[in-house]
Each structure stands twice: as C-alpha cells, then as structure tokens.
Structure 1
Amino acid sequence: MFGGALMLLITGSFYVYAQLNLRIVREQYRDRAQLLIAQNMMTTHWKASQNPNESELIVIPENLNEALKPDRLREFNWKFMPEDYENASTTARPVETFEIEAFRDLLSKKEPYVIHEDTERGRYLYFEPIIATELCLQCHRDRHSPLVSETNQIMGMARITFELRETQHDIARNNAILIVMAIVTAVLGMGVAYVIVRYVIVKPIMHLKDVSDAIAQGELDQRADIRTGDEFQELSHAFNRMLRHLVTTQEELKQSAASLDYKVDELAQANLSLHEMNKIKNEFLATMSHELRTPLNSILGFSDVLAVAENLNEKQKKYLSNIQTSGNNLLLLINDILDLAKIDAGRMEVHISEFSIADLIEQLALSVKPLAEKKNIDMDWEVSESVPVLVQDVGKMQQILYNLLSNAIKFTPEGGRIRIDVSMHDETLFDLVVADTGIGIPLEDQSIIFEKFRQGQNLAGSDSMTREYEGTGLGLSIIKELCRLLGGEVSLESEFGKGSTFTVRLPVELACQNPLESADSFTSTPAELMKGSSSLGSFSSAD
C-alpha cells in the first residue's frame, strides 16, 4: 500500500511537470511565430519599397518564402493571405479547410490568433490577422492599393508553419526520461522505506517479541537490549523495568503462597480439632440431657404424687408448686439442648403424615390463649381456603408454631395483638406468618437473631430486659433448623418498638415415598406442651 501510494504520488507529480513543460514549448512556438510574422512583414515591405512605381509588388510574390531570413529559420513556411483572397494569386489563397475556418474566425474577430496542430503531418500552424494602422492606411493610399481603406481593418491573415517531428521527438525523449526517473524514484523510495521500516521499526519490535516469548517460556532472566537512541530504546527500558517488577512480584507471591499454604494447613488442623471438639460437645450434651431427664422425671413424678396428698398445708403446697415449676422449666431446657444436639448430629428424624393446618393452628391457639389473656393480648388467626391438606411432619410443625406463639406472647406488652395467617405462596409452597406488636428487634441485630443462645434483649445489651424476659436463646435457632429440616426457611421483618413478623415458608408436600396415616386430631394440652411429653413431639421453650 505504501509503495502504491508512493508510485501514484510520484507519477502525478511527474505528469504535472511534463504538462507544464509542454505548455512552455507551445508558448515558445506561439512567441516565435509572432516574431517570424513580424519579420516577414518587414521583409515584404522592404522589397516593395525598392520598386515604388510597381504597385503590383504589393501582392506577395511566390518566392517570398525565400525572403531574407536567418539560416536557422529558413525551414519555416511563411504565407500571407489577403482579405480578398479569392482574387489573389493561387499561392496567396487558403487551400485547406482548417485555413479557411481559421480565416473566418479571425475575420469575425472571435479569436486574436488561431493555432492548429496537424498531428498526421507533424506540423504546427499559427494564424494571426494583419490589422491596418494609420501608417498602413497612409502608405497604401499613396500607392493606391486596394488592400486597406480604413484603420483597424483586417488586411489579411499571416500563417507560420513549424515542423513538429524534431520537437515531438525531443518531447517524447523528455517524457521517457521523466517516466524512468519516476520509476527509479519510486523504487528508491520504497527501498529506503523498506530499510527504515525493517531495521528501524520492525527489528526492535521483533527483538521485544523474542524477549517476550522467552519470558513466556520461563526464562525470566531475559532482558531487552535496544540501542537506537529513540523511543524504542525508552520502550526497552520500560519493558525491562516491568520485567524486574514482575520478577519481584512473583517472588513475593511465592512467599505469600507458601505462607498461605502453611496458614491453611494450620487452619485445617484447627478446624478438624474444632470439629472433633464440637462432636464431643454434642455427644456430651445428648448424653447429659438423657441422664438429666431420668432423675428429673422422677422428681416431677413424685411431685405429682405429693400434689394429690390431702395432709399438706398451704406452705407445703407452695413449696411443691415451686418444685414443679422449676422442674418443668429445667425439663424444657433439657429438651431444647437435646433437640439441638440431635439436629447437629444429623439424628433428628422426620415423621411425615397428612393433616389440616387449620386444625393444628386452632388447637395451638386455643392452648396458649390463656397465657395471652393473662396479659390482655388479643390473638386471632386465619387460614386461606386455598391451602390444601399438608403432607408434613406434624410434630415439628407444632413445635415451630408453638415456639413462635410463645415468643410473641412473651415479648408483646399488655394490650397488644398477635395475628396468625396461612396462605399459599405458589403451587408448592405455603406461608405461615406470625405477627405481633411487641418490642421488636433492632435492624443491626436481625442478622444474628437466629443464632444459638441469642436473645433479643441480649442483643440490645440491656440486663434489666434480660431479667424481665426469661429464656435460653435457643427457640429461634431450633425453629430455623426445623424449617431447614422440613425443606423450607424462616424470615423476619421487624422494627424496633413496633413489633415483629416471622414468616415460615414450607413445601405443601414433603418428599416421602410412604407417608404415615393422616392425623385425625391434635389432643395435646397446654400442660403437655409445657412438659414436652405429648405424643406429637417435644417442644422447646420460647426465646
């Protein structure tokens, strides 16, 4: 592309130069023709002045071409054609068509002169009108010549003919020289451009490429060595600086990777140790929970026996009531710890059956309603008709709902309200929503409220509230784990001081090949719920 553009540029410039030279040659032809016409006219008048009495000499003699001329101009053909050329001699008449057309153009004053190039014969013909002046009029009047009668009259037409063969040969030779020079110049230009590009531009770039390829193959000790004294040398210096920085960074990364591997090994060992310790802890909790429930059940059983005794006074009955209350609370705590231990160990079993969520909510709501009435809390519920019969674990569903209701009652002040809603989320999922107007949970604490041993008042950092609301902080963590076990999730929306809304989203049908028989009724009493001894499963205490 560069060579082609260079060739076009040189060819165009040389062509313009050739045309300018040809124009100069034509202008010189014209100037020489005008000078020759003036010279021949002077020669004609000089000869006529030698014979003043012979008026016929005014007519140009046939041998006028042999008039006095310099030797180098004798090859030019001179001819004068008067205005009344039809009555003139044969030699003075226009013969060829182009002569007649030129005569007419000059007589009509359309052109100051006419040039005709006869390429077939190799001739250059110049035609110019001869216009009478005052001196011409005076001279011809004295001689009684009919050629002129007034000034500015066209007396005739003069013609000068040049041979073009030698000039055309010279022009052709000059054009050939120009073409050869153009080709040589283009070839030299492309050669110089190739040398410049090849050794000044391409060679440094290829050197950088070779160094880059060597570095890509792992030879990090390679460096660019360009000494051109221009921008490529600066580029090589920048390239070497980049390589040094790359090597340094690579060494640092190797050291960091080695240190990171060591840290990862330490972390893996620590994680493994923590996993073992956690496993031991879960086994210990499970074992201790079983061991603690055995004597605690004995204590609660004997307290029930003492409660029916008739020989107890009021003070003894009060002591017995304290024993039963503390025992039940301790049993709830043990049940919570046992449930978490089972979940962490992966030993929590799922018992699937068909049941009506409306019946379950009605029974649980009626069971805990006395607790709500003690605090003058309004509680209502509604189950959408679009909710079908569920195929789920009824015991764990009852445990989830009971914990949510216990939390709502615990943290809702007197005169508050609790609302239970059940509706379909889509074709396969349903939402169980428990909303209250309690104390709410701060936004910064909502992300960790479902963690173990976390309680709203503990998050708030208030010891007085912790003493006011009893609990272990296990209820919501158990709810979260049970929801995950049942194939769903639990979410929270709360505003501190305005209440909380817990949404449990579960599948309508939990995947199981052989579901159990449908649960006909739910007969758990509030006392059984508090003890965690109903046939539908044990229940953890509220948070």
Structure 2
Amino acid sequence: MSKSVRLTLANKCLLLFGGAVVLILASALVVVALRMQTLVQHGPKKRARDFANAYIADEIQLGSALKSARDLHTVLPPDEDLKLVYLPRGEFSYVEDEDEFVESAIEYFQLRAGSTERFTTAVDADNERYYRYIRAIRRSDLATIRGGAAAGFRPMVEVGIANPLDGILLIDLRDPDAPVEQAVNIIYLTAAGIASGLLAIFVFWYITTRLILSPIRLLRDYAGAVSEGNLNIRSDINTGDEYEQLSDMFNHMLDNIRKSDQDLRSINKSLDLKLGELAESNIALYEANKIKGEFLANVSHELRTPLNSINGFAEVLAETFAESISPADEKRKRYINNIMKSSRQLLDLINDLLDLAKIEAGRLELHLSSVSVSDMTEGLINLMRPQAEKAQIGLELDVPMNLPTVHTDAGKLQQILFNFLSNAIKFSPAGGKVTLSAGLDEEDGSGRKQMMRFAVRDDGPGIATEDQLRIFEKFTQLDTSTTREYGGTGLGLTISKELADMLQGEITLDSDTGRGAEFAIIVPMNLERKVVPLMPDLRVDKPVGEG
C-alpha cells in the first residue's frame, strides 16, 4: 500500500522557488530603497549648500535674517520653513551642552582644516522632519563676505599658511516634497516588488509544472496502472531529455516484466497439471498401499493357521521319535528339527509381516493401561533367560526400586523391548552380557513432559555410524550375504520404530564398531490418545537419536 503524499512536489517546488524569489527581491529592493532615501535627502542638502555658497560669495545679503546665538538651540518651529543662524568664533562657548550637533560640527571643523560642511536630519515639536546644515566660515571666507579688497580687508596671515575657523552658518530648513517623494518611492518599490515576485513565481510555476512535473506525473500514472496489473500500458514521453530516456527504460522494464509474467503463467499452468497428476498418483499409491497392507494382513492371517499345524505336527513327531536310537530314527529327528526350525522362522516372518501390515493399514489399536516397570522388565528377563542361557549370554536387570507406573500400551512396549533383547542375545558372543535397564529420563531443559527410558545394552560387534539409520529400514540387514551368520527378517527394528511412534516415544541408538550397542526407547509417563488422520502427512523421518 502506497503512502499518502503530505506535500506534493509541485507545492514543494513552488514554496522553495517562491521563498527564494521573495528573499532575492527583498534584498534588492532594500538596497534600492536605501539609495532612494539618500537621493531624497540630497535635495535639501543641495539647497542648503547652494544657499551657503551664495552667502559666502556675497551674492545675497542676509541682514536681519540671521539669528543670534541664543536662537541656536531652538527647534525649528512648525510654521517656519527656514532658519539662519550665524555663530562667530567668540560665541562658540554658548553652544556647549546646548546643541550636540552644532558642538560636534565645530569640533569636527577645528580638527579638520579642509572640512567645510555637516548635514543631518531632525524632528520638530510636531514630530515633523526637517534638515540641518552647517557651513564652516573660515578666515578666507570673511574677505568675500565683507566685500573683499573693496572694503579694505586684508588677512593678517596668508590663506595658504593658516585658515582658521572664524564662525559657522547654520541653516535649518524643511522640504515639503521629501515625505511625499519618499512615500511615492516606497509605494512604487512595494508594487514593483510584489509584481516582480508574482511574475517570477508564476514563471517558476509554469516552468516547473510544464517542463519538470508534467513528465513525472505521467510516469506516476503509468506506474500506478502497472501496480494495478495493467502490463499493456506504455509510456509516451517525448521531451528529448532525461525524461524521455527514463520513459524508454520504463517501457523496456515493462516488456521484461510482461515476458516474465507470461513465462510464469505458463510454468504455473504446467505446475498445476503436474500437481493434479501428483495428487492422483498419491491417492492411487495410498489406495494401493492400503490394499497391499490389507492383503498382507489377510494373507498372513491365513498362512498362520497351516503353519501352526505344520509346527504342531512336527513337534508331535519329534516327541514320537525322542526315545528312539536307531540310525534311521536319528535321520528322521534331524529332518523333523529342520522342519520345525524352518516353520518357526516362516511363522516369525509372517507374524512380523502381519504386524507391519496392520500398522501401515491403521488397524493396530492402542490398549492403554497402567504398567509396573519392575514387573514388566522382570517378566521380560524371565522370558528371555532360556534363550540367553542356550547362547551362553549373561542376562542382567538394572531397574531402581519404587519407579512410578507408566500409563501406556504394555503389549507394544514389551514387543519393542523383546525385539531389543532378542537382537542383543543374537549378536552378543558367547560369554557376553546383556543388560536391561529402566529409569526416569533426565530433564533436558526443553520443557517437555516427564518421560521413562528403557535401554538394552549388549557386548556385540557394534554398529558403524553410517549404518545406524539404515538398520531401521524394511528388510535391512547389515550382513546381506547368503551365508550370513545371523538370521532374521530385517523387520524387527522397523516394526519397533513404528510402534514407538504409536506410543509417542523415541528410539535412540548409542553404538560404534567394536564396542557393543545400546538401544533405548523413551516413552511418556502418561500416554494420551491422538486422532490419526485418514492419510498420514508426508514427512521426512528424523534420524534415530535426534530429539
């Protein structure tokens, strides 16, 4: 889901460019305004200078128009436009602490012999602006003012040597047109600034919208259509710049996406067909496997009856010839023993096939009950002891006292342990030892429920690491030669593993070549029934010994 736009690119450009334009125009107009204010003030200054020059040149006679020193510090009255004050050198002391502008001008003229004028602005009692101009009257100027040589004036010292300050001429004047000019200038500047700013912003907006944002918006619309699944749309931007290159790249990308989409759709169709075929094959295999299991279960059940009869009659014949010692009867005894041995092996094979078929067909049910660990293990030891003594194998039981009972299927647990004990006795050498142990499984920190562990350890040849997974496969024996030393169908461990899964247990194997083997089954203390699905999940079995 695309994020909402908080500020469009057009508005962002407009704000940035507009701000830049306003800042630039404001800076330029401030400089112009300051210059125009200076020009407005230049008019009154020029008038005062011309007036002073005319007075010094003796072109005008002021007479009584000149004010005295006592009028020097008086502010220009609002009803007057001009005030003239002549202050000779002997009256400079009158302005001390009275008129700061005049006092500073006198000091300035005395320190700088070449300076002649000072100019400033002031306000009257009505807060109206007027201008103040001071002209320095030096020794050389007096000759002109007083009539020059015609008046018989002769300076005591040549002008080129010394030209001291002999007085000042103060001119206070108003300029009624100056405020108007300044206001008009401000109005013109403001109007020009606003017009220029608006025009610049409009130009920037037009350029940004037409040349920059318009192609971007087109690409955005194309991308939005593609995101909605329309792969047939194509970008058509002809600007002759990078936007056109981007448009061509966008179209090329769409071509690749469309081709990939078509390939993917074709692959998906093929995959759907394959999945359909696989589902049909899986159902057929499941049905075939179920039929096979039912067939094996039925056939095995039917074969057990004649085999039991054969075995029974063979035992009767063996008892009949048991006390006979004739050579012919000895031969018959050997034949009868071979018949009994072969029929028992065949019966064991059929029993294993029947159990495996029942497990695979889902016909094997759980019969739960409370089982005493000590009673069950002791019964197994007593059951296996004749076989162990015949093979000269020591049989030991290592079960602690007061172990709690286990709620499980006793028959299936005994069948697993019986298989472990049979294999241990079969593969242990004469004089060896087989130990059956039981105890609570140690906590591994995984938080699983409490378990009971049963283990059978022998002194046999051991099992190599690379063969420890393979021995749990159907009909698997490590010695596959026709003259193998140990008999068996290769189904015992397979059945044990299936039974362990039914008991929600786990079979582990600890062995290596030359150091015997320990088969163990770990079952829960309280087995709970599970609902078995009609078709089991396809899964990869974990290696034996892994949690």
Whether the TM-score (by the shorter chain) exceeds 0.5 is yes
1:200 corresponds to 2:211? yes
Tell me what 2:297 maps to: 286
Residues 333-385 of structure 1 deviation map (CA, whole Å, 9 limit, x = unaligned): 11100101111122213333322112212232344356556777666544455
Match of 1:81 among 84, 87, 96: 87
Once residues 470 and 127 of structure 1 are traced to their aligned partners in structure 2, the CA distance between those partners, rounded to angstroms, is 139
- Is the counterpart of residue 245 in structure 1 residue 245 in structure 2? no
What residue number does 2:103 align with?
Answer: 104
- Whether the 8 Å CA contact 1:296–1:331 is kept in 2: the answer is yes
**Equivalences for residues 170-319 of structure 1 within 5 A:** 170-212=181-223, 220-308=231-319, 309-313=322-326, 314-319=330-335
Q: 1:24 to 1:362 in 2, by over 3 A?
A: same
Give the number of the structure with larger relative contact order, counting CA–CA contacts within 8 Å between residues 6 or more apart. Answer: 1
Question: Partner amino acid for 2:484?
Answer: R
Matched with 2:357 is 341
User: 2:503 corresponds to which letter in structure 1?
Assistant: L
Once the two structures are superposed, the pairs formed by residues 393-404 of structure 1 within 5 Å of their partners are 393-404=409-420
Structure 1 letter corresponding to 2:494:
S
Q: 1:332 aligns with which of 348, 354, 376?
A: 348
Q: Cα distance, 1:448 vs. partner?
A: 4.8
Q: 1:362 to 1:165 in 2, by over 3 A?
A: farther
CA deviation profile, 1:258-285 (whole Å, cap 9, x unmatched): 3223323333333333233323322332
Matched position secondary structure for 2:238: coil
**Change in 2 beyond 3 A, CA 1:106/1:206:** closer
Per the alignment, do residues 172 and 268 of structure 1 end up closer, same or farther by CA in structure 2, a change over 3 Å counting?
A: same
Deviations 1:141-190 (A, max 9, x none): 96689xx9x97976555545564543443333333223222222332233
CA contact (8 A) 2:44 2:131 kept: no
Partner residue in 2 for 1:515: none
Q: How does 1:314-463 map to 2 (within 5 A)?
A: 314-369=330-385, 380-383=396-399, 387-411=403-427, 415=432, 418=435, 420-424=437-441, 427-436=449-458, 438-455=460-477, 457=478, 463=480
SS class of match (2:370): strand
**Aligned match for 1:468, one of 485, 499, 509:** 485
Quick one: which amino acid aligns to residue 451 of structure 1? E
Paired AA for residue 104 in structure 1 = E
Following the alignment from structure 2 to structure 1, what is the Cα–Cα distance between the partners of residues 334 and 266?
72
Output one character per residue of 1:214-268: Cα deviation in whole Å (capped at 9) or x when no partner: 5566654332222122333223222322332233223323322332233233333
AA in 2 matched with 1:10:
V
Aligned residue for 1:20?
31
Separation (CA, whole Å) in 2 of partners of 1:480 and 1:470? 20
Separation in structure 1 between the aligned mates of residue 183 and residue 162 of structure 2, nearest angstrom: 45
Q: 1:31 to 1:194 in 2, by over 3 A?
A: closer
Task: Tell me, in whole angstroms, the C-alpha distance in 2 between the residues paired with 1:125 and 1:240.
Answer: 78
Residue 483 of structure 1 aligns to which amino acid in structure 2? A
Q: Is the 8 A contact 1:30 1:126 kept in 2?
A: no
Deviations along 1:73-116, one digit per CA (max 9) or x if unpaired, are xx9876543444378xxxxx769x9x712233345669986733
Match of 2:120 in 1: 115
Contact 1:436 1:500 (C-alpha < 8 Å) held by counterparts: yes
What does the per-residue CA deviation read over 1:116-157, in whole Å, with 9 as the maximum and x for residues that have no partner?
A: 343833323245767889x99xx9x96689xx9x97976555
In structure 2, the CA distance between the partners of 1:427 and 1:171, relative to structure 1 (3 Å rule), is: same
- CA distance in 1 between partners of 2:296 and 2:344 (Å): 19
Aligned to 2:522: 505
- Distance in 2 separating the partners of 1:385 and 1:31: 123
Of residues 359-368 and 331-340 in structure 1, the stretch that sits farther from structure 2 once superposed is 359-368
Q: Could you list the runs of 5+ residues in structure 2 that have no partner in the other structure?
A: 1-11, 68-80, 113-117, 530-547
Distance 1:83 1:493 in 2: 128
Aligned-partner SS, 2:324: coil
Q: Which residue of 2 aligns with 1:482?
A: 499
Change (3 A) 1:144 1:385: farther
Moved more, 330-339 or 255-264: 255-264
8 Å CA contact 2:462–2:515 kept in 1: the answer is yes
Match of 1:90 in 2: none
- TM-aligned CA distance change 1:61 to 1:489, over 3 Å: same
Give distance in 1, aligned partners of 2:192 and 2:367: 104
Question: Following TM superposition, by how much is the alpha carbon of 1:445 offset from its aligned partner in structure 2, in angstroms?
Answer: 4.7
Conserved? CA contact 1:129–1:158, under 8 Å = yes
Instruction: Give SS of 1:468's match.
Output: coil
Cα deviation for residue 502 of structure 1 reads 3.8
Relative distance call for 1:388 and 1:151 in structure 2 (3 A) is farther
The 3 A distance-change label for structure 1 pair 166 and 484 is same
Give the TM-score, by structure 2 length: 0.71
Once residues 444 and 273 of structure 1 are traced to their aligned partners in structure 2, the CA distance between those partners, rounded to angstroms, is 34
Offset at 1:39? 6.8
SS at match of 2:240: coil
Contact 2:44 2:175 in 1 (8 A): no
Query: How far has the Cα of 1:411 moved from its partner?
Result: 4.5
Shift of 1:446: 4.5
Deviation of 1:400 (Å): 0.8
Indicate the SS of the match to 1:226: coil
Superposed CA offset, 1:393-452 (max 9, x none): 221111011112233344456757656332146655323344556555555554554332
- Closer, same or farther: CA 64–483 of 1 in aligned 2, 3 Å: same
Seq. identity, %? 36
Distance in structure 2 (CA, Å) of the matches to 1:163 and 1:2: 50
Give me the CA root mean square deviation. Answer: 4.5
Query: Could you tell me which amino acid in structure 2 is paired with residue 125 of structure 1?
Result: R
Q: Is the 8 A contact 2:440 2:451 kept in 1?
A: no
Q: What SS does structure 2 have at the residue aligned with 1:272?
A: helix
What is the TM-score of this pair, normalised by structure 1?
0.71
| Counterpart Cα distance in 1 of 2:391 and 2:166 | 142
Provide Cα deviations, 1:296-338, integer angstroms capped at 9, x if missing partner. 2122212222333311555544443333322222221111001
CA displacement at 1:478 relative to structure 2: 0.8
